[in-house]
Amino acid sequence: MSDIGMILKKSRNKANMSVKQISDILTQEGFKASESTIYSWENGNSQPTPGALLIMCGEYGITDVLATFGYGGYKDDGSIQLNINEIDLVEKYRTLDLHGKDMVNMVLNKEAERMTELESSQATVIDIQPHLEVNAAHARTDIDVTDEMIKHDDDIMDDDDF
């Protein structure tokens, strides 16, 4: 785990905020956060409450609180540390019948394979919707297209009122 105070101070400085500014914001939100309290947090002498921490993170532009403060999903001994969302998913999984578990396992394995392939190809992960298909205009191949038909189509394309 990284030092919370050091991360808070670096984040505040990166956000170009003074200790007074963050103190005023927290005080307006109902927290007892004098300038000396903020300094105490940043020097590691004490720690903010979870509510104050979240407000500071929002003000500092921190969007991934867990990653910013060193949560990697594992305990010091290497065992897995589940977050609340992961615990919820495990609990839902446990309620499924065999068919439901097979479906989840199939999707999870396919997605894990896809991510491994993307990572190995150094490709940028793009959130796509594979069920959507681009269907651009193209020449018809199911009929014999006459010059008159082409002219008609061109006239329509050139018509500003169409």
> Taking residues 127-142, what's their average pLDDT?
55
Q: Which tokens belong to 64?
A: 């991934």
pLDDT of residue 120: 83
> Taking residues 50-54, what's their average pLDDT?
93
pLDDT of residue 139: 63
Q: How far is CA 43 from CA 5, 38, 60, 61, in A?
A: 6, 9, 17, 21
pLDDT band at 18 (very low <50, low <70, confident <90, very high): very high
> Taking residues 61-87, what's their average pLDDT?
81
Other CB atoms closer than 10 Å to residue 59's CB: what's the count?
16
Q: For the segment 26-39, what is each residue's pLDDT rounded down to a tens digit?
A: 999 999 999 999 99
Q: Please indicate whether residue 67 or residue 58 has the higher confidence score (pLDDT).
A: 58
Give all domains of the chain, ordered by start, each with its CATH number.
4-68 (1.10.260)
73-96: buried (b, 16+ CB within 10 Å) or exposed (e) per residue? eeeeeeeeeeeeeeeeeeeeeeee
pLDDT of residue 105: 94
pLDDT over 50 at 88, yes or no:
yes
Q: What is the CA radius of gyration of the chain?
A: 28
